[in-house]
Amino acid sequence: MKVLFMYGYFFTYQDALPENSGFPLFGGVHFIWIAGIAMSIFLLCKVYLRLAKNKRLQMLNAFVLLALCCTFTQDAILAVTGHMNARMLPFHLCDLATFFYLFLQMRILRTGHCDSLAEIALCLFMPGAVLGILFPVWSVYPAFHYMTIHGFIYHALIILYPWLLFVSGNVRPRTKHIWQPVLFLCCIVPPVYLFNKKFDSNYMFINYPPANTPLKVLADQIGNPGYLLGYAIFIFLMILILYQIFNRFQ
């Protein structure tokens, strides 16, 4: 548990960290974060459901702005420490979620209701953030490190926003709308892939799989780029299954 006390490395980039300074997946630190996030989301849902409509909108506004602050704060820290580059831009799926949520929230404020585009948040961004918390790529950092704290809190916010819309009845997924998250991916994956190739980045993990994730296991079995086929099938099945589950609980 020495990682808990590496205070001197709070802003240190991963390349300058001592070896084995990260926290283990599904170890004590990881489970504490998972449990804390689950409990926080549960309690915030209870609070949200007790609020009047205008207060709910204010709460949603606050969470979207907080997620944006997390993104810009991380970028500012990377810039100040000299580590901001083409591989650290907000082009991962969960990074794009913040800007999509801002777009959704502005539509809600303008129209007074939530449309079917919110299903992209619920059936694509939210499960992506859940997987991000279960298999955090920031586990290379110590438990007490800015990137660790940011990673868990930010992904919790990406889960929280669409979940609040769902539990309050503002978004009701319909399987006939499954084309929306699929089309969204079809529009963003090709340019991200080309960007990765040009700048040797790995946004959305479509150039090579990150270590300690199911994608790495898949790539070890069928190779790279062969794992991308399994990756695409998994994402489509995940979206389809979530639509079926959400339909049952409406």
Lookup result for tokens 């007074």: 112
Lookup result for tokens 């650290």: 88
- Of 153, 159, 143, 134, the closest CA to residue 213 belongs to 134
User: DSSP states of 149-170 as a string?
Assistant: HHHHHHHHHHHHHHHHHHHTTS
| pLDDT at position 1 | 47
Please give the structure tokens belonging to residue 119.
Answer: 């299903």
User: DSSP states of 75-130 as a string?
Assistant: HHHHHHTT--STTSSS-SHHHHHHHHHHHHHHHHHHHSS--TTHHHIIIIIHHHHH
| pLDDT at position 15 | 85
CA distances from 10 to 1, 4, 36 (A): 16, 11, 21
Q: d(Cα 46, Cα 34) in Å, to the nearest integer?
A: 19
pTM reported for the whole predicted model: 0.94
Phi, psi of 90 (to 5 degrees): -80, 65
- Of 141, 195, 184, 177, the closest CA to residue 25 belongs to 141
| pLDDT at position 7 | 67
What sign has the CA pseudo-torsion 93, 103, 119, 64? positive
| pLDDT at position 248 | 83
Sequence letter at residue 146: Y
| pLDDT at position 19 | 84
**Tens of each residue's pLDDT in the chain, 250 residues:** 454 556 678 988 888 888 888 899 999 999 999 999 999 999 999 999 999 999 999 999 999 999 999 999 999 999 998 999 999 999 999 999 999 999 999 999 999 888 899 999 999 999 999 999 999 999 999 999 999 999 999 999 999 999 999 999 999 999 999 999 999 999 999 999 999 999 999 999 999 999 889 999 999 999 998 999 999 999 999 999 999 999 887 6
